[in-house]
Structure 1
Amino acid sequence: MNICLFSKDEIEKPLSIKDERGEHIIKILHKKEGDVFSAGIIGGMAGTALITKITADSIEYTFTPKSGGKPLHPLTMIIGFPRPIQLKRLLRDIAALGVCTIRLTGTELGEKSYLKSSLAEPSTAYKMLLDGTVQAAGTHIPALFMHQNLKECLEKMEEEQDKNCPPEQKPLLLALDNVCPEETLVSALKKYNSESAVTPADRNVIAAIGSERGWTDSERTLLEKHGFIRCGMGERIMRTETAATVSAAVISAECGWLQ
């Protein structure tokens, strides 16, 4: 736990010793009265908290904001539902990398039961994203959407996209696919970055990754119809969670978000 996050309603109110954060502060960080720890408001400011009093039941503290928190990168990831056991790690790691939006979707070759897993419930998924945000010492949690299939996902995204944004601000659409990719992920990003007139902070990328068995031909056609470029990351076949993490890291590095 690299930062203790609080909701706006919780900040500066006594923190229960039995709370997971309270236990971490006392038992792991070994903080005492007069000590400080990293703290932040979910979706808001990051700073430090000064412990003013510790009782048998709670920790009292004052919060001093110091920054707006680490911004999320303008990267949206469409991900075919992975196995539930993988989903926990995937959401945590993607959140730690600073992805701004995650869209989990059913796919034609994906196992339909995965969408009904308890780990896919919004409250459980939010906890995984929160864990990743805390790991990164951030305050901003990625937005999460769930879709029954890829068609629904892409149509919903098009509805929400600003049709009037200038061409240079339209997102780069990338579909990760190790079956006959048009080019490599790195080459597509280098071309985009060399032709883009916007700063790294304003670059916008949407990356789609299939479930374990990959995309079907009809899904490839659908992605191409919506303007996605099929990209590869070499000949090795990765798990969905691995492909998502690796591609997010490569995109972030190539777009200059890790500097």
Structure 2
Amino acid sequence: MQRYFVDEAVDNHFYISGDDRHHIVKVMRLKVDDQIICANSSGNSAICVIEEITDENVVAKVVKWEEGSVELPVKVTIVSGLPKGDKLEWVIQKGTELGASRFIPFTAARSVVKWDEKKAAKKVERWEKIAKEAAEQSHRRELPEVWSPVNLKKLIELSKSYDNRLIAFEEDAKTGESSVLAKTLAKVEKGQSLLFVFGPEGGLTEEEVALMRESGFETCGLGPRILRTETAPLYALSAVSYHFELMR
């Protein structure tokens, strides 16, 4: 059953417009009496039946609100040093499927890509669309946030609102460090937040890591192998999922 992220219901009805209306009518070719799932901004979702299709809206009536949750028990934010090409799009798509709650691009010292403010709105809009489509495909109930890139100073400032802060650091992996991630996950409580920073292709500089450490971050390795910038966040999210969802 197709899932859509929509505005809050009004009198037990969802009114779906724009691209989602087009997808329902023109792509999926759904009709009156067909069923869809609607998820709202409160993290709730419902099985709905299409009651009416107009030129502006698809009107869907709630049949049954879904119970339970498919969201990670902890709020994980992925901070990615701006990578080349479409690697960040891959991280956002797959990271959404794996349960990330927020994505924050980071203009790291070794980021080859330079952020163009003139194209910023369009770029972020594309990232948000990728996250939305991935959330619908993976039956998420919450739509991840996607931010515009931040610099190191802003990253350190916003990190203060998080319960736990980690840096995936290549040098730690090279020395065989393997306990910090496991120890951190063991102490994290359900409902808490975790900020996880990953460098760009060239990695993080010693200065960047030192400044974050001074602000309360811990560095950690992600196993004995050196992972690509687009692979490391997915490894971390998988580890979080395994710890909180499969080891119960």
TM-score, normalised relative to structure 1: 0.76
Aligned length: 241
Range moving further from structure 2, 105-114 or 48-57: 48-57
Maintained 8 Å contact 1:119/1:125: no
2:230 to 216, 232, 241: 241
User: Counterpart of 2:87?
Assistant: 86
Deviation, structure 1 residue 7: 2.3
2:26 to 23, 26, 35: 23
Distance 1:14 1:151, change over 3 A: closer
Structure 1 stretches of 5 or more lacking a match?
Answer: 162-169
Q: Deviations over 1:38-86 (max 9, x none)?
A: 2222444201121235679975431335147644532122211122411
Deviation, structure 1 residue 174: 1.6
Distance across 1 between alignment mates of 2:65 and 2:81: 38
Distance 1:228 1:183, change over 3 A: farther
* Amino acid paired to 2:36: F
* Amino acid paired to 1:40: A
SS in 1 for 2:195: strand
- What RMSD, in angstroms, separates the aligned Cα atoms of the two structures? 3.3
Deviation, structure 1 residue 212: 0.9
User: Counterpart of 1:214?
Assistant: 203
Distance across 1 between alignment mates of 2:54 and 2:150: 49
TM-score, normalised relative to structure 2: 0.79
Distance across 2 between alignment mates of 1:217 and 1:93: 29
Q: Deviations over 1:216-244 (max 9, x none)?
A: 11112112212222211234333222111
Q: How does 1:1-259 map to 2 (within 5 A)?
A: 2-8=2-8, 12-13=14-15, 19-26=22-29, 31-53=30-52, 59-67=58-66, 70-71=70-71, 73-114=74-115, 121-158=123-160, 160=161, 170-171=163-164, 173-181=165-173, 184=177, 187-194=179-186, 196=187, 199=189, 201-256=190-245
Distance 1:35 1:177, change over 3 A: same
Q: Deviations over 1:99-128 (max 9, x none)?
A: 122221100111242555668733222112
Maintained 8 Å contact 2:82/2:107: yes
Range moving further from structure 2, 1-10 or 32-41: 1-10
* Amino acid paired to 2:242: A
Structure 2 stretches of 5 or more lacking a match?
Answer: none
SS in 1 for 2:203: coil
Q: Deviations over 1:13-49 (max 9, x none)?
A: 36589712333432xxxx4443322222244420112
Task: Report percent identity of matched pairs.
Answer: 19
Range moving further from structure 2, 64-73 or 173-182: 64-73
